[in-house]
């Protein structure tokens, strides 16, 4: 059945009625729903794996690691922690409020939420956000990506098997259906995708003053810096793994590498060897994922063509299978256009720099739009920690890649052009709830300090004593 404006509006209003019934407020009920969702994922994981294979050409192992298993981890964390997260906090009101000295902070759900999920990790970036919404006590309309139709169909079946549509439902369709959803008055919007569409989401959310969380890839991409003193073999191995994962279609993936020119040749040898060892002949390797669409493939191939004379590894693709080899572009200047935009493909520009000028490189990175991730490889941990503490980015690693996403209890989110808001674990619960402060008043021993008349000097003296 087609999703029309009327059908979407009816769905939102039905969910609003369900939310107002108060059914989602009970924490035990929420935990039961999270368990139901987890069990459905485990029962239907073969269908989810098949859908990921059909849409992205992923191997089952990569899909389980990146989408299925990680979703189960996220759901289990919410199941275990929800009672503690949702418990009202008790605060001492302070002498100014005497005798009403007890204040409660309640964690209240927003209500009806809209989750707009992307194609690159269509299961994880739907169910991981849904786990936070359900934990917070909300209902949810999920607008799944039209670019991964098999995964969208699998999600529709999964959600329908676990929840009634007045609680959670999945909407399919293209951008026009997405705009119909965004034109509705939701109580919270969570969008994962590109900065360009993120701006559009915020503009439409503003019409209804709907709070929105954005998880974006970063306007100018995520930098990886390899210093001259780095363990080059270790760095190359990890960078190669990450660039191969989902064929580079990852919001926190390395967009470009800045490598100390003193170590550049040795690093390139190690990186080529790592690619060769891990994937071999990529175009013929069934484990190597494809690009999501012909448009994405053509864009990647066109960029590679512009740098054909500087491709030192890879550079070939297969338009029939939509696979494009992991490709190293070297040397690339730090001010060239290709390193000032998110690529979202297996091209990897490498920018050489004198190691003595590392501060200039970091200043250049800092002057551009904030990335969603930053990766540093060096043996100088003092420098690395200091750098991580003064740059602006979503999250990152020192001598590692991507695993910041896997740390339980740690927030994941961007800043500026890489997003706003954060989730995972308790941070996701916070993103989908509003802290409501309630002071419990006393009917006895109330002092007239706040009341007229204000002429008495003793009132000023007492207020001066209390307001410290």
Give the integer Cα–Cα distance in Å for 169 and 192. 18
Give the integer Cα–Cα distance in Å for 200 and 192. 12
Q: Is 245 an active-site residue?
A: no
Give the integer Cα–Cα distance in Å for 216 and 250. 10
DSSP string of 71-138, one letter each residue:
HHHHHHHHHHHHHHHHSPEEEE--GGGTT--EEEEEEEE-SEEEEE--SSSTTHHHHHHHHHHHHTT-
CA atoms within 13 A on the CB side of 56: 30
Q: Which of 382, 65, 392 is nearest to 223 (CA)?
A: 392
Residues 6+ positions from 458 with CB-CB distance below 8 Å: none
Q: Which of 162, 183, 222, 142 is nearest to 419 (CA)?
A: 222
Give the integer Cα–Cα distance in Å for 59 and 45. 14
Q: Which of 253, 235, 279, 282 is nearest to 376 (CA)?
A: 235
Q: Is 224 an active-site residue?
A: no
Give the integer Cα–Cα distance in Å for 68 and 45. 7
Q: Which of 223, 239, 196 is nearest to 364 (CA)?
A: 223
Catalytic residue among 151, 245, 251, 300: 251
Q: Which of 175, 74, 166 is nearest to 116 (CA)?
A: 175
Give the integer Cα–Cα distance in Å for 43 and 299. 38
Cβ atoms within 10 Å of 119's Cβ, excluding its own: 21
To the nearest 10 degrees (0 to 180), the angle between helices 124-135 and 69-86 is 10
Catalytic residue among 215, 219, 325, 426: 215
Token pair, residue 269, equals 């040898």
Token pair, residue 445, equals 């021993």
Give the integer Cα–Cα distance in Å for 271 and 276. 9
> What region does 191 belong to: left with phi over 0, alpha with psi -120 to 50, or beta?
beta
Token pair, residue 46, equals 């073969």
Residues assigned a catalytic role: 215, 251
């Amino acid at each position: 059945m087609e999703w029309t404006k009327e059908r979407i509006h009816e769905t939102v209003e039905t969910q609003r009625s369900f939310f107002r019934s108060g059914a989602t407020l009970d924490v035990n009920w929420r935990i039961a729903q999270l368990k139901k969702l987890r069990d459905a994922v485990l029962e239907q994981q073969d269908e989810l794996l098949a859908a990921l294979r059909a849409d992205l050409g992923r191997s089952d192992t990569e899909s389980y690691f990146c989408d299925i298993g990680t979703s189960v981890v996220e759901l289990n964390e919410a199941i275990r922690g929800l009672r503690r997260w949702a418990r009202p906090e008790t605060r001492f009101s302070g002498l100014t409020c005497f005798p009403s000295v007890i204040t409660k902070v309640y964690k209240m759900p927003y209500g009806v939420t809209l989750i707009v999920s992307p194609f690159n990790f269509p299961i994880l970036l739907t169910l991981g956000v849904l786990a936070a919404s359900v934990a917070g006590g909300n209902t949810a309309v999920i607008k799944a990506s039209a670019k991964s139709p098999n995964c969208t169909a699998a999600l529709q079946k999964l959600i329908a098997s676990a929840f009634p549509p007045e609680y959670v439902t999945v909407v399919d369709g293209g951008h026009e259906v997405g705009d119909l959803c965004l034109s509705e008055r939701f109580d919270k919007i969570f969008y994962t995708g590109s900065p360009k569409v993120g701006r559009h989401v915020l503009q439409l959310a503003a019409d209804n003053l709907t709070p929105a969380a954005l998880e974006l890839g970063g306007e100018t991409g995520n930098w990886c810096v390899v210093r001259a003193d780095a363990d080059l073999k270790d760095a190359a191995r990890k960078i190669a793994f990450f660039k191969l994962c989902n064929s580079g279609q990852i919001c926190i993936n390395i967009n470009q590498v800045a490598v100390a020119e003193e170590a550049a040749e040795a690093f390139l040898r190690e990186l080529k060897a790592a690619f060769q060892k891990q994937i071999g002949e990529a175009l013929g390797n069934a484990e190597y994922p494809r690009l999501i669409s012909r448009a994405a493939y053509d864009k990647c191939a066109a960029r590679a063509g512009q740098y054909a004379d500087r491709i030192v590894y890879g550079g070939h693709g297969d338009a029939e299978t939509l696979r494009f080899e992991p490709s190293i572009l070297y040397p690339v200047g730090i001010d060239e256009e290709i390193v000032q935009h998110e690529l979202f493909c297996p091209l990897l520009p490498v920018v050489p720099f004198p190691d003595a000028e590392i501060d200039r490189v970091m200043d250049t990175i800092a002057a551009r739009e904030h990335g969603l991730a930053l990766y540093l490889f060096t043996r100088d941990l003092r420098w690395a920690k200091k750098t991580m503490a003064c740059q602006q980015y979503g999250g990152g690693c020192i001598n590692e890649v991507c695993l910041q996403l896997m740390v339980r209890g740690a927030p994941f989110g961007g800043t500026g052009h890489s997003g706003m808001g954060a989730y995972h674990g308790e941070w996701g619960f916070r993103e989908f709830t509003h802290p409501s402060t309630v002071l419990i008043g006393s009917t006895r021993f109330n002092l007239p300090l706040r009341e007229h008349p204000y002429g008495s000097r003793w009132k000023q003296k007492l207020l001066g004593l209390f307001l410290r």
